[in-house]
Amino acid sequence: MGMVRLGASSGYAVKKAADASTRFFWPASLAQVYPELAELEAAGLLSRCEDPHGARARSAYSLTPQGEAALREWLRSYRPAHAPVQLRDDGLLRLFFADALSPDERRALVARLRERAAAAEAHLRNEIVPAAEQLARAAGGPRGPEIVARLGADTYGFIERWLSGVDFR
């Protein structure tokens, strides 16, 4: 619903938008998106209208007033008691157990973790942040996507620097 609100009208567009923005903390697959859109329509939170492109069928979704209200209620319902951010990551898991390795292998693992954090930072900063800026200029200035993208880039940068100071012999 949030993606629809930001201008992604079709299921395909919702998936594409998620890939280009929320992928790092909330990935979505097409097989999730299509049934979900249908359910939200059945619940009266989205309205659908046929918007074919030539002979190719396309469904253009938009938020109903009830959908807008439900989205805002969901945004307001966040409480700090909710589970904290999960840094779900098999790299950190390996670092956790890295005492089973030799010192050289340990250093190599830390180096690879640094590389990956640096790559994630670069990708967010060079691809995702500019895309969010463009969205802000285009669609009535939503700032959430840009703020989250910058937070992500800076956090990966922080992790990269932190790991550079680790001396895990």
Partner DNA sequence: TATCGCATGTAATTAGTTACATGATTGG
Partner DNA sequence: CCAATCATGTAACTAATTACATGCGATA
Q: Which residues bind DNA (CB under 7 A)?
A: 10-13, 16, 27-32, 34-35, 37-38, 53-59
In terms of CB distance, is 47 or 106 closer to DNA?
47
- Rounded CA separation 166/120 (Å): 19
Q: Angle at CA 95, nearest 5°, toward 90 and 101?
A: 120
Which two tokens mark 52?
Answer: 């074919």
For residues 109 to 148, the per-residue mask of contacts with a second copy, x marking binding by CB under 8 A and - elsewhere, is: x--xx-xxx-xx--------------------xxxxx-xx
**Cα–Cα separations (whole angstroms), residue 167 to 76, 92, 103, 164:** 43, 16, 10, 8
In terms of CB distance, is 7 or 142 closer to DNA?
7
**Cα–Cα separations (whole angstroms), residue 152 to 73, 87, 168:** 25, 12, 26
Q: Which member of 53, 54, 100, 103 binds a second copy (CB under 8 A)? A: 100
**The one-letter amino acid at 124:** L
Residues that bind a second copy (CB under 8 A): 2, 5-6, 21-22, 24-27, 68, 71-72, 74-76, 78-80, 82, 84-101, 105, 109, 112-113, 115-117, 119-120, 141-145, 147-148, 151-152, 154-156, 158-159, 162-163, 166, 168
